[in-house]
A = this chain, B = another copy of it.
Amino acid sequence: LHRRLLYSASMADHEHEHPTQPTESVHDHHQDGPEVATAVLNTLDAQGLRMTGPRKALVAALVDKRAAFTAEDMVQAVPEVGRATVFRTIKLLVDSGLVCRLSQVDGRPLYSLSHQGHHHHALCQRCGAVLDIYRCGIDTMLENIELSTGARVLGHRLEVFVLCANCVAAGG
């Protein structure tokens, strides 16, 4: 699960037209846990937030997750931390940009560690792995919506539901 994938397939015939626009890139979602945990805690510290026991435990637990998780997952992963604190901490991390909220097919929220510059996610429906999608390629479309309709685009969200390569190999 530590491989990193750079996507650059089959858009070559477009590149002479948009030489400065890179193609999409994708990589999966796991890095070296302790380092990430330290980075997360440093960020919290820089925001003047307290490094409490429950917060450290929660950060350690979510950094250890290799997949998107629900609030309930966290409640169970760190039973010594109260339910309310789990919710409060997740919200705090989301507001700090350290964790991002994504949504399941049925709309229920999932969370995953946030990686710089990514906007979208491909979520494995079997194992919960999250592939980040960089440069989703819809900016042009959004601009065109503005041009053709007069609407102003404020934001967008793209969720992609997949079976990751591992799960395809495991038989779906």
Contacts and interface: CB of A to CB of B under 8 A. Distances in A.
Interface residues of A, number: 55
Nearest to A144: B9
> Secondary structure at chain A's binding surface: helix, strand, loop or mixed?
mixed
A154 B165 contact: no
A153 B7 CA distance: 15
A162 B11 CA distance: 29
Interface stretch (A50-58, A59-67, A70-78, A135-143): A135-143
A136 B142 CA distance: 9
Contacts of A145: 7, 24, 26, 122, 131, 133, 160, 162
Copies of this chain, complex-wide, total 2
Contacts of A142: 160
A69 interface: no
A7 B160 contact: no
A142 to B, nearest CB: 7
A113 interface: no
